[in-house]
Structures are given as structure tokens and as C-alpha cells.
Amino acid sequence: MTANSARYVYMPTLTSSLKELSPPSAVFNTVLKVDTETGRYTRHDLGNQIVGEAAFVPKPGGGTTEDDGYLAAFTYDPVERRSNLLLLDARRIEEPPVAVIEMPQRVPQGLHGNWVARG
């Protein structure tokens, strides 16, 4: 068994911009990117939307840096009662999404996933 170090860590977290939900629950509304070498972090705040964990999707053909790819995460808007697939540029997660794809039905929070390329 071997282990590789990772410079970047991505995780869902909670900011104060999420309005209180009724009933109260443990949810996240921000995707956080931590640079383990510098200690700096950037984030993508979704306001009152709920976000699950993000899966890293490398760019086709590989990338030039460890964060050269996309983050794919399911979100849920409790007001609109709608789930989306959110795609962020992993290098610049604080920027607007690369894409937001509306799901035909609600995706339950807590869904875990990975990205596996074909071939």
C-alpha cells in the first residue's frame, strides 16, 4: 500500500450566509479548497443552497497542475426544491460555475461519488 500527498483538499463547509432551515439540520453551503503547502484557502459560497461533497474530475488528457480539472457536486435549493449538478473550475473555485445542470428529480443529500474516466 502506498500513499501520495495531495497539495489541495476540497470539502463542503458551512458559512453564516445559509439561512436557518426548518427543521434545523447539518448541511453545507460552501465548497472549500485548501492549499496544504501555503495554508491558504478559497471558497465557492452557494448562499442558501445546500451542497454535498465534490468529486475532482481531471481535464481530458491530464493537466499541468494537481488542480487542473473540475469539481462536480450536487446542490439542492430548498426554496425551489430543485437539485443541480454544479461544475466548478478546480483552479478558481471562487469564480462563477463552469456549468449548472438541472436534475430531473431531487438528489438526496449525502450522496457520495467518484469520477472514473472511461478506458
The answer to whether residue 44 is domain-embedded is yes
pLDDT by residue (tens digit) across 66-112? Answer: 999 999 999 999 889 999 999 999 999 999 999 999 999 988 887 77
The answer to whether residue 56 is domain-embedded is yes
pLDDT by residue (tens digit) across 46-72? Answer: 988 999 999 999 988 877 899 999 999
110: number of Cβ within 10 Å:
10
CB under 8 A, 24+ apart: contacts of 69-73:
70/98, 71/10, 71/31, 72/113, 72/115, 73/12, 73/31
44 is in an annotated binding site: no
The answer to whether residue 88 is domain-embedded is yes
The answer to whether residue 113 is domain-embedded is no
Look up the pTM and report it.
0.85
What is the residue range of 80's domain? Answer: 8-17+24-102
The neighbouring-strand residues paired with 84 are: 75, 102
Preceding omega of 23 cis (within 30 degrees of 0): yes
State the total domains in the chain.
Answer: 1
Rounded to whole angstroms, how far apart are CA atoms 78 and 99?
A: 20
